[in-house]
Amino acid sequence: MEHTAADIRFSDVSVTYPNGYTGLKNINLTIPAGEMVGIVGLSGAGKSTLIRTINGLVPITSGSINVGAHQLNGRGGTQLRGKDLRELRSNVGMVFQSFNLAKRTTVLNNVLMGRLYHSPAWRTLLGAWKNDDVELAMAALERVEIVPKAYEKASSLSGGQQQRVAIARTLAQRPQVILADEPVASLDPPTSHVVMRDLQRINAELGITVVVNLHFLDLARRYSDRLIGLRSGEVVFDGAGADADESVFENIYGRSLTAEDVLGNKAEL
């Protein structure tokens, strides 16, 4: 399968959680294939919800989302489920704040999880991976420079290395889109830059769309082509990172900026 990129289109998307909390309000967005988009906002502004609607981890209440040939609908619409939902997800990689690795198994086994959709059930059950899949996983590890650790336990790696294994896991999917939900929130500043540069390189070299939630404004401005600012579930800014000055951020955050909103000059590489 080739890396044929796919546009992501939000049409009037709203999400209301079962407890009545509004996650997203009437979102209209188009993310063209190959773009690197940073999403900023306070915690609770809907960043995580927005990202998780794209692969159906959070079902939308109304509106619709198109990801390439797939369409996710609100309540009442045709629901994407079973094999169709899994096919969509196999095209969309996801990186999490807390890495989400199976720590007691090897780095390689973790990366191979990106092949689960394509691997037959009996092979998965026996752990008898196809040589092609193993090679694909190794190539993914190569891209994040962790190949020598392929047969080590995931728990023996540092936080930064674990996050790079998680990125390799998404690469093993050969995805069209990578979603990253606060990928550097558990990492120290130098490691954060390494991980962000990995994502940037993947976007530039493989043409994979990258949508990344970030808390730190300087990181968001530095590593994304386009910034989307969310506040209380609504888009309050959408434009180039360079256009986002202090006053824009104050509008997104609803308060003046503090030192905690930037990763900072403490450890610029």
Partner 1 sequence: MSTSVTSSPQPQPKTQRPTKPRHGAKSLAAVVLLVAITIWAGIGVQVDLPAIAANWRNATTNIIQLLQPDYGFFPKTIPALLETLQMAVIATVIGSALSLPLAFLASRATNPRPKLLAGVRFVMNMIRSVPDILFASILVAVVGVGALSGIMALVLFNVGIIVKLVSESLDGEDAGAQEAALAAGASWPKANRAAMLPQILPSFASQVLYTFELNIRASTVIGLVGAGGLGILIDNVRSFFRYHELSLIILEILVLVLVLESLSAWLRKKLV
Where along the sequence are the contacts to partner 1 (CB under 8 A)?
55, 57, 86-94, 96, 98-105, 109-110, 112-114, 116-117, 119, 121, 124-125, 166, 169-170, 173
Contact 25, 18 (CB under 8 A): no
Nearer to partner 1, 28 or 156 (CB): 156
Nearer to partner 1, 84 or 238 (CB): 84
Nearer to partner 1, 156 or 256 (CB): 156
Please tell me the distance from the alpha carbon of residue 244 to that of residue 241, in angstroms, as a whole number: 5
CB of 44 to partner 1, least distance (A): 20
CB of 247 to partner 1, least distance (A): 36
Contact 44, 252 (CB under 8 A): no
Please tell me the distance from the alpha carbon of residue 6 to that of residue 212, in angstroms, as a whole number: 17
CB of 56 to partner 1, least distance (A): 9
CB of 198 to partner 1, least distance (A): 17
| DSSP reduced 3-state for 9 | strand
Nearer to partner 1, 128 or 240 (CB): 128
Give every strand in the sheet of 36-40, ordered side by side: 92-95, 177-181, 209-214, 36-40, 226-231, 234-240
Contact 187, 157 (CB under 8 A): no
Quote the strand ranges of 50-123, DSSP E.
62-67, 70-73, 92-95
Nearer to partner 1, 160 or 241 (CB): 160
Nearer to partner 1, 171 or 263 (CB): 171
CB of 236 to partner 1, least distance (A): 28
| Amino acid at the residue 132 | D
CB of 154 to partner 1, least distance (A): 9
Find, among 217, 26, 218, 219, the residue nearest to 229 by Cα. 217
